[in-house]
Amino acid sequence: MSERDPSQIDLFTGAPSATPARGRRRGQEEPVGPAEQPEDVRALGQQLHPGLYLGTSSWTFPGWKGLVYDRGATPSRLAREGLAAYAQHPVLRTVGVDRTFYAPIPASTFAEYAAQVPEGFRFLVKAHEACTLARWPLHQRYGDLRGQFNDRFLDAAYARDLVVAPFVEGLGEKAGPLVFQLPPQDPRDLGGVGPFVERLHTFLAALPRGPLYAVELRNEALLTDTLAQALSDVGVCPVLAAWKDMPQVELQAVRMRALQAPALVVRWMLPPHLDYEEARKRYFPFDRLVEEDVRTREAIARASVAALGAGKPVFVTLNNKAEGSAPLSAVLLARSVMSRTRNTPHVDS
């Protein structure tokens, strides 16, 4: 693995790390600002339940000119300047930080993110993949580790020091869910379903108390009642993953007891009939809705309303590959949730 300081490059976009501008020199362009929003979108944002946190998987997409940003900009520029503008969108109250899946980042970088957003904003952060890969993939970026078993898999000490500590220190009250995403893996590499659940329970129980933890699985075979009980026992949220090879969201919610967790956490990533590359090619540059997935949207809306009605916060991040444009999907989801919300209690995350 590269020894490059992970704070120097965004491993999700390949761009320099997103740090706030230190002030413009003479002749430099004006910073990226927020796009002007239609009156109905502004009104929707003012009406949103305070416990509802909707957002996108990242903020570095040039195709969002006029939707989120007031001008065109490269991904690297948006990585540096776009977050503050993104956070002014009336509906977007959270954002996914995916770069942390590929390498840990220091508390100082998290603090820079937090400084760019308002008080009510929350970050959904992925834990480093070293915590959740039983065996390193065969991809060339893993170098000599390719195909080998990972000795940091479900290592609570590593997670505590390299993942949880900087997350808590840097984001403070703006920390939302910390997601441990387990990519699709051979159950044999996990030691079998039963031993894996026991090991995951031990790992989660050993993490520092306080943060909102969530676990996302990409193997349907692991969505068992035993796993649901293990997560419930340690107060960890299951992530409802709207993804091609997973059951429908409402089925996941029932299997994993999602509405009994401390919060509802949903990641809407792909339509049921496309893989990642197919969706990317079909939907790029992510500036419009290409194929609306009303069924998934309404399922997420129903679960969100149920959680809000139970006094629990809701975190939903949406990917451009879900319908074609994540910000537009978020607006439609917000409308669906609000149309169903009647006298639900307000909650603080």
What gap in Å lies between CA 225 and CA 192, rounded to an integer? 15
> Which pLDDT value is given to residue 49?
95
> Which pLDDT value is given to residue 13?
34
Neighbouring C-alpha atoms within 13 Å toward the C-beta of 116:
28
Residues of the chain with pLDDT under 50: 1-26
pTM above 0.85, yes or no: yes
Where b means 16+ CB within 10 Å and e means fewer, 58-97 reads: bbbbbbbbebbbeeebebbbbbbbbbbbbbebbbbbbbbb
Q: Which residues pair with 217 in a beta bridge?
A: 182
Q: Which residues pair with 241 in a beta bridge?
A: 267
